[in-house]
A and B are shown apart, each in its own frame.
Chain A
Amino acid sequence: MPVSLRVNGRTHTVDVDPQTPLLYVLSDDLALRGPKFGCGLGQCGACTVIAGGRAIRSCVTPVSSVDGADLVTLEGLGTIESPHPLQRAFIDTQAAQCGFCLNGVILTAKAFLDQNPKATDVQIQQAMSGVLCRCFTNVRMMDAIKRYREKTA
């Protein structure tokens, strides 16, 4: 079944089983490197994309349910030459180890701060409570997110 997806400002039509989780369409059919399979259960955040301004777990989201929605993946924020301010904050704080979780961390934080620009530290912590980093880069990542909050406030 053809599904129309708008990803990072570009429209793609893919012919897939409508029950296919969005993640597979993004990472396989569209060959995007941002959204990643971490658990396939919506528990870790690695597959996060922003859909209509909200962070969603693409590994448990049937592709048919986002037909026509405006999707943003990590590559949609900025580039190596011109990173998004939140990506810049992660570079400035050197907030990564293996980097596998970065997609979920950055997109979850962005979606939350876009809607809650004056969030407190505790609120940010709550917003990030469903996101894992098994290298435990917590300190630098939270620092990066807070720096971004200060800059955009």
Chain B
Amino acid sequence: MTAEQTRRDFLKSSGALVVCFSATTLEPFALEQGRGGAAQRSQVDVKLLDSWVGVAADGSVTAHTGKCELGQGIQTAQAQLIAEELSVAVESVKLVMCDTSICPDQGTTSGSQSHPTNFNHANLALACATARETLIDLAATRLGVPRDQMTVDRGVASARTDPQKKVTYAELVGGKAFTIPVNPSAKRKDPREWTVLGKPVARVDLPAMVTAQLEYVHNVRVPGMVHGAVVRPPEVGAALKSVDEASVRSLPGFIKVVVRKNFVGVVAEKPWQAMRAAAALKAEWSAGSGLPPQAGFYDYLRKQPSRDTHVVDSGDVDETSARAATIVKATYRHPYQMHGSMGSSCAVADVQSDRVTVWSSTQSAYPTRSGVATVLGVPAERVRVVFTRGSGCYGINGADTVAYDAALLSQGVGRPVRVQLSRKDEMAWENYGFAYVIDERVALDGAGNIIAWNHESWAPSLGGRPGYETPGNVVTGMLAGFEPAPFAPRSPAPPPAGRFNNGSNAAPSYVTGCVGGACGGTGTVKSERVLTHTIRSPFFTGPLRSPSRLQNTFAHESFMDEIAARVKADPVEYRLRHLRDPRLVDVVKAAAKAAAWETRPSPRASQGPLAKGRGIACVLYEGDNGYCALVAEVDVDRASGRIVVKRLVASQDCGPISSPDGMKSQIEGGALQGMSRALGEEVTWDDRKVTSVDWRTYHSLTLGAQVPAIESVLINRPDGEAMGAGETTITLVAAAIGNAVFDATGARLREVPFTPERVKAALAAPPSAGL
């Protein structure tokens, strides 16, 4: 849908919007929005069927969703869901995603929550089931046929016994509202009867994408639109002292310099003119706050004030460890990494006296609406965010911050403004994925079994998703005078409370995860302690695909391999020995089988210049959101330290599979993105500023990279709950590759990325170094 169409539709439909301000009184039903959801602040009432789905006069189905297409294929999967539940063709489904004027508030599209949220027994799926049941009721009445004798196919309801007795959806309700609530007990179709869901449906957006017809936010044009560019501080923590507008006033196309505390931007008639003016603008800044040296940063983290949390603590880890036959310990390090979107982030904002419209590729339409309102000082009701496709974002790229940029500049000049960040502004100020340093320690009994597991981590954090309340969590909000979420040190950690929550996979798969008498872990080790320390980060941080889960899992799964090697056990067998969740067991076995895993202890430590090895890793993502195991096969060139990943075999179980090819695509993309992160990606800085600011200084794999064969084993669980599939594989890649390198060479990699220098250093180190 083009921006023009969206606007026309909005004008046409806005008069018919159901206004329901009582929605702030939350009922359990309305809260079922997944973890991305928050307090509901939308005029779209999720309890009404018309908020979700409608049938047009031509029989086409239009649905509204709060889960948006980021490149992960959720548009197609949701179209399949709607087509399946309503028994219509995928082609007749129109999906409007994340437009705050008409779509339900489903929080943020993140955390692999789109499937749990919209594909189970609530929200979009329930609305579609309600619609189908309602349409069948209407058809049965209209035709005088008992309801249980009705059948539906491609939008036509007919009597089973007499196919001539039929009526189309269009004839039943075409163009009219349902005006009924979503029925909480509407029944979804049995997954065994699916004909559209569960099938490999082609991406509905792909033909427009490959022919350059799809409108990205970068392509949005509105009448009277001009162009903005931002001027960020030269150093972290620098404050604006003065701006000399005269330095750019004579430049072609120049319109205005807009300043708001430390936020500085320039508006010009044309994009190139705006970028030139931003580069030429004379601005004086104070010195920055200085940065801790990158060398030694992990040790620095251990010494800072921290907020401490016990994820689990059985209280007996030290006691159990005291009677252990063997103690094994190791430390793992993971750097800050970037989302590093392919396209630098872009937004268009039109701030008028009575209303504000923002075209944005944000993952968080409603929270961005609130954030823009706060930054501009206008009521959120006056702001409309129109989600428009963007460059892949993987958690939070600059989409939110640039939406604020565009809004501030538009407010400053009173005209619609388009802003696209420079590459450097995207990379120097984004919300990086967390750095981590992790100490792992286990106690083993005389038979080599784990009897106690102790995990302690230190990770820096600052800002994050702005949510509805905290625009200072991203750079523009902070520059404009809003504080990031406060950091509150807390030490020592209080005892774990509530239920076991492994949302960050801080607890390894091999512990029982017992909190308050209930055990939610997937493993057998009862003596368990997981203590996390959060430190105030010098840089903004935020969720990067598998946030914390990846870093923690790198440590757990590398360490599990180290323990298995210590007791000379096969890495697969040793994992299975300590797992009790049958579905996790199944993915491990499935990956091992598909990879023709050779049962033997690691390392093989083959001789010769090219060492070959295999490694495995597994996880239940977030403790409850997707099972995955991954086998990596690598070659290691001993002389150069170069790792070549030859083959990746992933097995995955995320409940009933809705879109098998989409799931495979996510496995493949996750596997290679994980490989890029494991082998090369690392944010760098000097004593004042970030220095990884383009594709020469931040090292991503390109399309010229030698990539492994990737095989996927999809395990379908028709009776299970829908889980996420977008972040499972990537969680395992660094560990699986590191374990394969160990198998090949006997050298253990404990710090990401696995650069050739680090591989060579590990090859030169004695086997026990770092333990």
A interface residues (Cβ-Cβ under 8 A, vs B) = 16-17, 20-21, 24, 27-28, 31-34, 36-41, 43-44, 46, 73-75, 77-80, 83, 87, 90-91, 94, 96-103, 105-106, 125-142
Contacts and interface: CB of A to CB of B under 8 A. Distances in A.
B700 A134 contact: yes
A138 B179 CA distance: 47
Contact of A44 (B207, B272, B342, B393): B342
Given A33-B219, A97-B392, A75 B209 contact: no
A-B pairs with lowest CB-CB distance, top 7: A129-B704, A98-B71, A136-B672, A98-B392, A34-B212, A99-B209, A128-B703
B218 interface: yes
A74 B207 CA distance: 12
Contacts of A40: 275, 344, 422-423
Contacts of B73: 97
A20 to B, nearest CB: 5
B469 to A, nearest CB: 28
Name A's interface SS. loop
12 contacts: A24-B270, A24-B271, A38-B343, A74-B210, A83-B210, A91-B210, A94-B203, A97-B73, A98-B392, A99-B214, A130-B704, A136-B676
Contacts of B676: 136
B211 A77 contact: yes
B62 interface: no
Contacts of B390: 98, 100
Given A94-B202, A133-B342, 11 more contacts: A44-B342, A90-B206, A91-B202, A94-B665, A98-B390, A99-B214, A100-B391, A102-B209, A125-B706, A127-B704, A134-B391
A39 B695 contact: yes
Nearest to B225: A28
A105 B702 CA distance: 11
Contacts of A78: 211
Contacts of A126: 704
B342 A132 contact: yes
Given A100-B391, A105-B703, A136-B701, A36 B216 contact: yes
Contacts of A32: 212
B669 A38 contact: no
Given A98-B392, A140-B668, A132 B702 contact: yes
A136 B669 contact: yes
Contacts of A139: 668, 672, 707, 710
A75 to B, nearest CB: 4
B422 A91 contact: no
A37 B392 contact: no
Interface of B: 70-73, 202-203, 205-216, 218-219, 221, 227, 252, 270-273, 275, 340-344, 389-394, 420, 422-423, 661, 665, 668-669, 671-673, 675-676, 694-696, 700-707, 710
B213 A75 contact: yes
Contacts of A83: 207, 210-211
Contacts, number: 192
A144 B626 CA distance: 30
Nearest to B710: A139
Contact of B343 (A73, A100, A141): A100
A136 B673 contact: yes
Contacts of B710: 139
B203 A37 contact: no
> Counting chain B CB atoms within 10 Å of each CB, which of A33, A34, A100, A133 scores highest?
A100
B341 A134 contact: yes
B646 to A, nearest CB: 13
Nearest to A88: B210
A40 B216 CA distance: 18
Nearest to A100: B391
Nearest to B205: A99
Contacts of B221: 31
B702 A46 contact: no
Name B's interface SS. loop
A39 B423 contact: yes
A16 B168 CA distance: 56
A27 B702 CA distance: 24
B394 to A, nearest CB: 8
Given A97-B669, A98-B71, A80 B694 contact: no
B695 A103 contact: no
Nearest to A87: B210
> Counting chain A CB atoms within 10 Å of each CB, which of B210, B340, B423, B695 scores highest?
B210
B419 to A, nearest CB: 12
A129 B208 CA distance: 25
Given A130-B704, A133-B342, A134-B700, A103 B206 contact: no
B343 to A, nearest CB: 5
Contact of B420 (A37, A74, A75, A138): A37
A79 B669 contact: no
Contact of A137 (B205, B219, B227, B669): B669
A91 B72 CA distance: 16
B668 to A, nearest CB: 5
Contacts of B275: 40
Given A20-B272, A83-B210, A98-B390, A131 B703 contact: yes
Contacts of A20: 270, 272
Contact of B208 (A37, A80, A103, A130): A80
B703 A142 contact: yes
Contacts of A17: 252, 272-273
Contacts of B701: 136, 138
> Counting chain A CB atoms within 10 Å of each CB, which of B72, B695, B710 scores highest?
B695
A101 B342 contact: yes
A75 B211 contact: yes
B342 A46 contact: yes
A125 B209 contact: no
A2 to B, nearest CB: 15
A83 to B, nearest CB: 6
A21 B420 CA distance: 15
Given A39-B423, A87-B211, A90-B210, A138 B705 contact: yes
A98 B703 contact: no
Nearest to A42: B695
Contacts of B72: 97
A128 B342 CA distance: 15
Given A130-B702, A131-B702, A73 B212 contact: yes
Contacts of A96: 71, 203, 206, 209-210
B704 A125 contact: yes
B703 A38 contact: no
Contact of A138 (B203, B207, B341, B703): B703
Contacts of A129: 702-705
B184 to A, nearest CB: 35
A120 to B, nearest CB: 13
Contacts of A28: 227, 270-271
Nearest to B227: A28
Contacts of B700: 132, 134
Contacts of A43: 423, 694-696
A138 B676 CA distance: 12
B672 A97 contact: no
A98 to B, nearest CB: 3
Contacts of B273: 17
A38 B702 contact: no
A105 B26 CA distance: 48
Given A24-B272, A46-B342, A36 B218 contact: yes
Contacts of A79: 211, 213
B673 A135 contact: yes
Nearest to A75: B212
A91 B215 CA distance: 18
Contacts of B272: 17, 20-21, 24
Contacts of B218: 27, 36-37
A97 B71 contact: yes
